[in-house]
């Protein structure tokens, strides 16, 4: 049976914009967050506190967090790979932080410059400090369905990282298909490993649409009862350390699917398309989303 309600986490301001070649101003990022919350998004991944040498687009993290007019009931999250990132993030009062590991050693090295084991040694004090400050910690497992450097990734490799997350007290387990190569059975196998260690209310899917599989993968997760998904307005995005990986699945496309299935989200499609049109205008291109473009053409 499918869930009655689904939570969509819009990661557009962070995952979506981190890879843009031209700088996007803090004011435009703030306006994007405002339009997303106006559309009814209740979870927004705003920025990341990573090295500005590695990801220059997120160097304005503090300005963006400080500039948002916060709405009650909306959760604002940020990525923090280490204690330095967390310390900087804490000053901006995030509701949630995200630590991001990888299912493969090769991606861990390329993305965060350390092994999987080392990354968890870095995350451990991040989780402890976040909890001491009353902040929930989400974990993301990149490359859970395939890796641009290693190739195939097994469910065992995914479960190894799920266990590491559980061991250090990460509250939520996000399974991410960074390069969009997952297909429904493989996705269900990876999710099943996450569900061995985390309750269903703390497992989410993060899909990229590189091979056009994101919506069927989300449907496969819905069939398992999973009810939290990351998505990116206008289909923005791509990871700087995963060449050829196109955007995250577009929030508008996921919402169209959920609306059609009668699943409640609290999000208004027209206002979401407005947010997609806004950021696409800033970037000087059309949204990548099918739904966004169809509705904008009307």
Using CB under 6 A as the binding criterion, the count of chain residues that bind ligand HMG stands at: 24
The entry of ligand HMG, Mg ion, none that residue 82 binds, CB within 5 to 8 Å by partner kind: ligand HMG
How far apart (Å, rounded) are the C-alpha atoms in residues 12 and 279?
Answer: 10
Q: Are strands 96-102 and 75-79 parallel, antiparallel or unpaired?
A: parallel
Nearest to 291 by CA among 238, 214, 183: 214
> With respect to ligand HMG, which residue has the nearer C-beta, 38 or 114?
114
Backbone angles phi, psi at 171, to 5 degrees: -80, -25
Are 65 and 99 in contact, with CB atoms under 8 Å apart? no
Give the nearest distance from C-beta 235 to Mg ion in angstroms.
11
Site for Mg ion in 3-42 (CB under 5 A): 15
> With respect to Mg ion, which residue has the nearer C-beta, 15 or 43?
15
CA angle 19, 65, 170 (to 5 degrees): 80
How many Cα atoms within 13 Å fall on the side-chain side of residue 168?
A: 27
List, in order, residues 6 or more apart from 202 with CB less than 8 Å away: 171, 172, 173
How far apart (Å, rounded) are the C-alpha atoms in residues 34 and 250?
Answer: 18
Site for ligand HMG in 173-192 (CB under 6 A): 176, 178
How far apart (Å, rounded) are the C-alpha atoms in residues 219 and 127?
Answer: 31
How far apart (Å, rounded) are the C-alpha atoms in residues 125 and 105?
Answer: 21
Give the nearest distance from C-beta 7 to ligand HMG in angstroms.
17
Q: Which residue is nearest to ligand HMG (CB)?
A: 85
H-helix or E-strand containing 281? helix 269-283
Using CB under 5 A as the binding criterion, the count of chain residues that bind Mg ion stands at: 1
Would you call 239 a catalytic residue per the annotation?
A: yes
The entry of Mg ion, ligand HMG, none that residue 138 binds, CB within 5 to 8 Å by partner kind: none
Give the nearest distance from C-beta 281 to ligand HMG in angstroms.
24
Nearest to 231 by CA among 176, 277, 286: 176
55: contact with ligand HMG by CB under 6 A: yes
The entry of Mg ion, ligand HMG, none that residue 111 binds, CB within 5 to 8 Å by partner kind: ligand HMG
Give the nearest distance from C-beta 295 to ligand HMG in angstroms.
26
- The site string for ligand HMG over 68-107 (x = CB under 6 A, - otherwise) reads -------------xx-xx--------------x-------
Site for ligand HMG in 114-173 (CB under 6 A): 140, 142
The entry of Mg ion, ligand HMG, none that residue 188 binds, CB within 5 to 8 Å by partner kind: none
The helix-helix angle for 105-112 and 116-132 (nearest 10°) equals: 60
The entry of Mg ion, ligand HMG, none that residue 142 binds, CB within 5 to 8 Å by partner kind: ligand HMG
H-helix or E-strand containing 187? helix 184-195
Write out the two tokens for 60: 């304005």
Q: Which range binds ligand HMG by CB under 6 A, 27-35, 36-44, 131-139, 236-244?
A: 236-244
Write out the two tokens for 108: 């861990």
| Interacting residues toward ligand HMG by CB under 6 A | 15, 18, 48-51, 54-55, 81-82, 84-85, 100, 111-113, 140, 142, 176, 178, 206, 239-241
| Interacting residues toward Mg ion by CB under 5 A | 15
User: Annotated catalytic sites, by residue?
Assistant: 239
């Amino acid at each position: 049976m499918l869930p009655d309600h689904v939570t969509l986490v819009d990661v557009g301001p962070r995952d979506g914009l981190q890879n843009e070649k031209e700088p996007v101003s803090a004011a435009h990022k703030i306006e994007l967050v405002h339009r997303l919350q106006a559309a009814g998004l209740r979870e927004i991944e705003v920025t990341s506190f990573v090295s500005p040498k590695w990801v220059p687009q997120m160097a304005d993290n503090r300005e963006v967090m400080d500039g948002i007019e916060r709405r009650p009931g909306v959760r604002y999250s940020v990525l923090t790979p280490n204690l330095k990132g967390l310390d900087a993030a804490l000053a901006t009062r995030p509701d949630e932080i995200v630590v991001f590991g990888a299912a493969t050693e090769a991606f861990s090295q390329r993305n965060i410059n350390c092994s999987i084991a080392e990354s968890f040694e870095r995350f451990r004090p991040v989780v402890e400090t976040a909890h001491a400050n009353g902040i929930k910690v989400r974990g993301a497992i990149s490359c859970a369905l395939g890796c641009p450097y290693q190739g195939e990734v097994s469910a065992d490799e995914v479960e190894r990282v799920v266990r590491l997350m559980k061991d250090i007290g990460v509250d939520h387990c996000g399974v991410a298909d960074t390069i969009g190569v997952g297909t429904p059975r493989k996705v269900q196998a990876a999710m099943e490993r996450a569900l061995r260690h985390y309750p269903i209310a703390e497992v989410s899917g993060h899909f990229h649409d590189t091979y056009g599989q994101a919506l069927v993968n989300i449907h496969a997760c819905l069939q398992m009862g999973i009810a939290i998904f990351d998505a990116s307005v206008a289909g923005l995005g791509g990871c700087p350390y995963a060449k050829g990986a196109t955007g995250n699945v577009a929030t508008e496309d996921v919402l169209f699917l959920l609306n059609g299935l009668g699943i409640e989200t609290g999000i208004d499609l027209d206002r979401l398309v407005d947010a997609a049109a806004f950021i696409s205008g800033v970037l000087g291109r059309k949204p990548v989303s099918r739904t966004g473009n169809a509705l904008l053409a009307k």
